[in-house]
Structure 1
């Protein structure tokens, strides 16, 4: 695990630190040998040198975005499309239940072709 990513995550509010830790664990469980590093000021997760996902802590939410997601359908109110649909993101707010199983499923599907 990258120390800069750990510092980034640790700079959030307590609930954000907990959510980011859970998401980070999902990423490491889902993508064996994933590489993580701070790029563009945010934690990025790479598989074989290619971007698989990115984590972002904002004022009132945590966003988790996966790349290579054109084949993944959005889930209304949960998983939204970005760009031309090749990226999908989930926004998590304080007190919200996080569906880590859904995140793992989406990440497994999007990272399998990297």
Structure 2
């Protein structure tokens, strides 16, 4: 995994400890699914790419961490967890909400198979 210093700095600057920990875990999920993912900050958020195409984005808000999976049209998603148009799906994770990282890993792997 090649770490982009800008992404490292973005995560380090997250003020809420639970959000910082979650962002680290989500980043690890992307790199487990796609060890050669390219990281960059775009639109003030960490983006992860394969072959120049978006794979995932991590963003934070006051009370949540959002994780968007791109190329999601063919994915079978758990009912009620994700929102957004067919090509990209976002899960908003709030403090105290458990998320199945293995499930996210599987979804990211599936979404990147055709990129």
Report the count of equivalent residues. 112
1:96 Cα deviation after fit: 1.2
Unpaired runs of at least 5, structure 2: none
Structure 1 partner of 2:90: 89
1:33 aligns with 2:42: no
Q: CA deviation at 1:77?
A: 2.8
CA distance in 1, matches of 2:75, 2:37: 21
Counterpart of 1:24 in structure 2 is 27
* 1:71 aligned counterpart, secondary structure: coil
Q: Is the 8 A contact 1:69 1:110 kept in 2?
A: yes
Matched, 1:59 2:62: yes
The alpha-carbon deviation at position 44 of structure 1 amounts to 0.2
In structure 1, runs of 5+ residues without a counterpart are none
Q: CA deviation at 1:75?
A: 2.1
Shift of 1:47: 0.7
Give the drift of 1:107.
Answer: 0.2
Q: Is the 8 A contact 1:74 1:88 kept in 2?
A: no
Equivalent-residue separation in structure 1 for 2:32 and 2:89 (angstroms) = 20
1:50 maps to which residue?
53
TM-score by length of 2: 0.92
Q: Normalising by structure 1, what TM-score? A: 0.92
